[in-house]
Amino acid sequence: MFDQKKVLIDCLKGKTDAQKKLYEHFAPLMTTVCYRYTKSWYEAEDVLQEGFVKVFNNLEQFKGDGELGGWIRRIMVNTAINYLRKNKKYSQEADVEVVPEQMSKDVSPIAGLQAKQLAEIIQRLPSGYQTVFNLYAIEGYSHLEIGEMLDIGESTSRSQYLRARGILRKWIETELEEAKK
């Protein structure tokens, strides 16, 4: 039973047992969050570790006015962005075929995929596209917010998202077709 209030109080006292409890409660979800922003499990775990160190070192800043999980998730996302920036992942933009965006509301392509498969497909995107896609489609940030976070223009964020979406759609369809064969 995870008693969040008690665990938080004990964590603030620096009790290792409580820190471990909090970690064990949130780490599985946060691992996948970090995985979506990086290119491998190794990188994801590096970001996860860095993120949790920040969480424990700044826990007194959590005001309790929102969900603890959401607060931790924001730290993980910011840590991942810093990690990518530090490792200059943004500059490593691979050549990708730009696919015209079709604003389809069709969700069928992803219906046949598991989360892990889908995450691996997203990982194949250039880091810039991957980050923008994650921030907009999954974290729910607006393009204005994403622009501020990544130090890019709002329109750049929007265009990168549309391109990423188009590329993903094509890749997902290809993946499904190969799976049928």
Would you count residue 17 as binding another protein (CB under 8 A)? Answer: no
Site for another protein in 50-69 (CB under 8 A): 52-53, 56-57
Q: How far is the CB of 99 from another protein (least distance, A)?
A: 15
Q: How far is the CB of 91 from another protein (least distance, A)?
A: 26
| Contact criterion met (CB below 8 Å) for 150 and 86 | no
Would you count residue 99 as binding another protein (CB under 8 A)? Answer: no
- CA–CA dist 104, 70 (Å, integer): 29
How many chain residues bind another protein (CB under 8 A)?
40
| Contact criterion met (CB below 8 Å) for 59 and 11 | yes
On the 0-12 / 13-18 / 19+ scale of CB atoms within 10 A, 156 is middle
Nearer to another protein, 34 or 81 (CB): 34
Among 137, 149, 152, 176, binds another protein (CB under 8 A): 137
Would you count residue 96 as binding another protein (CB under 8 A)? Answer: no
- CA–CA dist 47, 31 (Å, integer): 9
Residue 111 corresponds to which tokens in the numbers above?
A: 């219906």
Among 5, 65, 97, 111, binds another protein (CB under 8 A): 111
Would you count residue 179 as binding another protein (CB under 8 A)? Answer: no
Q: How far is the CB of 17 from another protein (least distance, A)?
A: 11
- CA–CA dist 135, 22 (Å, integer): 25
List CB contacts of 101: < 8 A, sequence separation 6 or more: 162, 163, 165, 166
Indicate the length of the chain as a whole number.
181
Q: How far is the CB of 95 from another protein (least distance, A)?
A: 25
Among 138, 153, 173, 174, binds another protein (CB under 8 A): 138
Q: Letter for the amino acid at 108?
A: S
DSSP state of 1: -
Positions in the binding site for another protein (CB under 8 A): 13-16, 19-20, 23-24, 27-29, 31-32, 35-36, 45, 48-49, 52-53, 56-57, 103-107, 110-111, 115-116, 118-119, 136-138, 140, 143, 158, 165
